[in-house]
Structure 1
């Protein structure tokens, strides 16, 4: 949402009698005089003036999960992948008898790029939208100049050529989406996103059959058109009435023997606390944002904040089916919202076939070097009746300004950042073009180490939690860092670091 559209929302605002806490101390002072859970409702009340939404019963469900559409390599040169991305308005009959207008790449729902490590990637971005856009290569180690920062949008009717070469020893599950100034949230919830898989020829899991599960959120009004954000959407992050996988509502997933699932949380605001019941399946996490873990980790659930990815290997324990469920996760939403509850998102039909045993070791991840530069990032919130959310989302007390560089660092410096979520609700942290290791977390004075070593580009922080991360950036230019709840990013919870 751009600033010119704020006026039409002001009619639903009113003066706040209580302010959102800016600090931990203020939070405790207010909590002491309030009943349980009242910190959610005390923030504000607002009129329920949201347009009626489409009934869930009208959305088809129970269909077999479809594969994501692959983008074809147009290059005949070995080691080169060449394609185009054409964002444009596209009508899709997702509800029988009704045409819903999406914004899609190449008129495809969630297209995917699938390449080998070391590939040179060439993409022509042809903008057929009514506004400027960019393409951000989320998680990929590309230079700032081609990473879709908001400073240099592809204008209406313009074509932009983007090229980058992937490292030779690199793999993992990534994605791409728009990142224009102030309109990222809207362009993504209208449908603009896609997957990006990088394969290692020596992948120790390459013999295991794969499925892609790309989670995205859809909110439709009663005319089956994509609804605008409400004030609660801007405040908490958008959660539509339809949680989709590969563009489908509550599909049926076939799990025949051991499978490797690549999972993307591409929702704007919804967290996914996926359940893998031990009575039904044997489940191991084998990868996260930055590729394979050092060894498989047995799991029964997996929490992914918006923007995070993971890979899990599942083996059914019996014939039959179970409901893939996102377990209720309380992330401290503001305003008068419904209580969190378990969300069924798919049926999994299991067939017993030959089990594929996992190797004990997947790869070695070097220990992070010792940092020589240190920075502190602090998330806070403050009530503001002129904001679309009624709240300002701040980093170090400021909202995002494209003309302001928040930090300058010499390229190649080992950096340690402390990210402090000094607010009442969960916020995530994402930095462009890099992978980092989490050194430690701290909550209520207790310091804990990560359960296992992994490379990340997006992490979640609970209320009043700190995370200390270590990374090196060898590329010169400006990188963005922000909360990946897209509404919070669009409203200013973002900063810039320049490598010189």
Structure 2
């Protein structure tokens, strides 16, 4: 099948490689976007206000680091296709679960003296501190400010192997402009599915947001689990923070990204992985970097940075400019992940080609939500993150929120629609926890008691090990049920998640 034929099979309006306008003019003479340069994922765009797509997760073999591995993927791609919409559009997405049937759990009772099989596994789907039913799935539209009810961003839906479900997601006319993503969110299978490739980007923007001549790169960073257990069905592999992970960018192992000296490109960075943090140093890549948006919210003013930290689930929209000619390593910088040291890892190369191109292009300015003021806060809450020993959990370790592992029948917090609250997460563990709140973004107010004057907007932000995070959120437009959880997905599947209900 040709590349074009493969794309047409995805449905909708599809474009490959570079996106944006006047692509040929932007790339002519630079050798970019062709052989040897990292291409964007396949793309499906809305037409006449509606995006129509089919996402089909399968378990199939793929070459990652030149070795064949079995991956769970959407539409046979790594990552899945990018979905591009405008504010006010609707998404009609058919999720067809083509993963194989779930095997019946057969625990090794010798590892759990004094416990029965039912004690360990419970009825199907009832274990909330350990992975289970790894081929059961659904969809979450991470960062979108949309309804959590019905066929929209409803993470309580269940789509079993062999079943299909039609999602209908209405994007508000006033939706923020930026980068978002989709991934599975069925509790018990999330770490296994995202850790083996099930993720894709969502872009929401007005028509003229990216100016002609500013090449756009969608860079989806994933860390598929690299072990001999290639089917990724061994919880001791995908739940282990020390198991080897293989970094890919748009499904490519250590690719090359090209630009000319003085040229600007618009990079949409997404860390769509299960657990590893990804600090990046732009100066070491020979680049100047100007951040224009984070987690789907535009900045009020562009900010030049030398480096940034991507936590699992984060997106950063950044305009980069080639400064130093040469071939530079893109390195995931070392990071202290609680009791685990993440080493420096070369994940790609950046080739800044000599030249005299001069560009000052930037994306169009977009609205940022107003700050949440003291007067808006109707309630302040404290949420405690912890851990406990539990013999049903992998490695006997379960995670908790307010002393309790996830219970699907308990709603921890019940804010009212049209109000704003301040929450302080208190981390009593030795691990950092990037906490993600569905549906509504939040402002970071303080970290470990130190105020953050700029109060940036995020939907996923790290609570330091043995530290605190104070944030504020408005509960606007949508009532209903959703969840808040750690986006280190082995922690989520081991219980660090709670239900939230927005009361009308």
On whether the aligned pair clears a TM of 0.5, the verdict is: yes
1:460 and 2:489 matched: no
The aligned counterpart of 2:414 is 408
* Alpha-carbon distance between aligned partners in 2 of 1:360 and 1:202, rounded to the nearest angstrom: 7
Q: 1:396 aligns with which of 397, 402, 410?
A: 402
Structure 2 partner of 1:498: 501
Does structure 1 residue 104 correspond to structure 2 residue 73?
Answer: yes
Matched, 1:368 2:341: no
1:252 maps to what in 2?
Answer: 256
Distance, in Å, in 2 between the alignment partners of 1:359 and 1:154 is 38
Output the CA distance in 1 between the equivalents of 2:478 and 2:153.
15
Give deviations 1:440-480, integer Å, cap 9, x for gaps.
Answer: 22x2xx42215x34321100111122222222223121110
Query: Could you tell me which residue of structure 2 aligns to residue 29 of structure 1?
Result: none
Change (3 A) 1:320 1:107: same
CA 1:239–1:345: 2 relative to 1, 3 Å: farther
Whole-Å separation in 1 of the counterparts to 2:428 and 2:289: 34
Once the two structures are superposed, residues 330-362 of structure 1 have per-residue CA deviations (whole angstroms, 9 ceiling, x without a partner) of 1212xxx5x433211111001342221559976
> How far 1:103 sits from its partner (Å)?
1.5
Q: Secondary structure at the match of 2:267?
A: strand
How far apart are residue 68 of structure 1 and its match? 0.7
- Alpha-carbon distance in 1 for matches of 2:366, 2:205: 14
**What SS does the aligned partner of 1:192 have?**
coil
Deviations 1:281-319 (A, max 9, x none): 211111100321111111111101101110111111132
**Aligned twin of 2:111:** none
Alpha carbons 1:293, 1:453 under 8 Å: kept: no
Tell me the residue number matched to 2:92.
122
Whole-angstrom CA distance in 2 between matches of 1:359 and 1:307: 23
Q: Distance in 2 between matches of 1:239 and 1:260?
A: 33
Structure 1 residues 493 and 147, CA, compared in 2 at 3 Å: closer, same or farther? farther
Unmatched 5+ residue regions in structure 2? 1-34, 102-134
Q: Go from structure 1 to structure 2 and tell me whether the alpha carbon gap of 1:206 and 1:106 turns closer, same or farther (over 3 Å shift).
A: same
Q: Which residue of 59, 68, 86 corresponds with 1:89?
A: 59
Secondary structure at 1:372 match in 2? strand
- How many Å separate the matches in 2 of 1:489 and 1:437? 22
1:427 to 410, 433, 437: 433
CA contact (8 A) 1:81 1:122 kept: yes
Unaligned runs of 5+ in 1: 1-61
Q: How far did 1:259 drift?
A: 0.7
Residue aligning to 1:142: 146
Instruction: Output one character per residue of 1:84-107: Cα deviation in whole Å (capped at 9) or x when no partner.
Output: 1111223324465x6432221122
Residues 436 and 91 (structure 1), Cα distance of their counterparts in 2 relative to 1, 3 Å cut: same
Does residue 69 of structure 1 match 2:73? no
Which of residues 164, 177, 184 in structure 2 aligns to 1:178? Answer: 184
Q: Using the alignment, how far apart are the partners of 1:66 and 1:381 within structure 2?
A: 42
Aligned to 1:24: none
Task: Report the equivalent of 1:476.
Answer: 479
Q: What's 2:275 paired with?
A: 269
Q: Distance in 2 between matches of 1:401 and 1:437?
A: 27
Equivalent residues in 2 for 1:373-388 (5 A)? 373-388=379-394
Q: In 2, distance between residues paired with 1:309 and 1:163?
A: 24
Q: 1:340 to 1:183 in 2, by over 3 A?
A: closer
Structure 1 residue 363: Cα displacement: 4.4
Shift, 1:205, TM fit: 6.0
Counterpart-to-counterpart distance in 1, 2:387 and 2:488:
14
How has the CA–CA distance of structure 1 residues 272 and 278 changed in structure 2, closer, same or farther, with 3 Å as cutoff? closer
* Contact 2:177–2:366 (CA under 8 A) maintained in structure 1: no
- Alignment correspondent of 1:13: none
348-357 or 108-117, which moves further after superposition? 348-357
The aligned length equals 425
Q: Structure 1 residues 239 and 136, CA, compared in 2 at 3 Å: closer, same or farther?
A: farther
TM-score (norm 2): 0.78
For 2:480 and 2:154, how far apart are their aligned partners in 1?
11
* Alpha-carbon spacing, 1:415–1:323, altered in 2? closer, same or farther (3 Å): same
With 476-485 and 165-174 compared, the bigger mean Cα shift is at 165-174
Contact 1:393 1:491 in 2 (8 A): yes
Distance 1:196 1:117 in 2: 12
Distance 1:65 1:224, change over 3 A: farther
CA 1:385 to 1:235, structure 2 compared with 1: closer, same or farther past 3 Å?
farther
C-alpha deviation, 1:225, in angstroms: 4.8
- Tell me, yes or no, if the aligned pair for 2:372 and 2:474 is still in contact at 8 Å: no
Residue 345 of structure 1 corresponds to 347
Question: How far did residue 118 of structure 1 move?
Answer: 1.7
Secondary structure class of the residue paired with 1:488: helix
| Counterpart Cα distance in 1 of 2:407 and 2:415 | 18
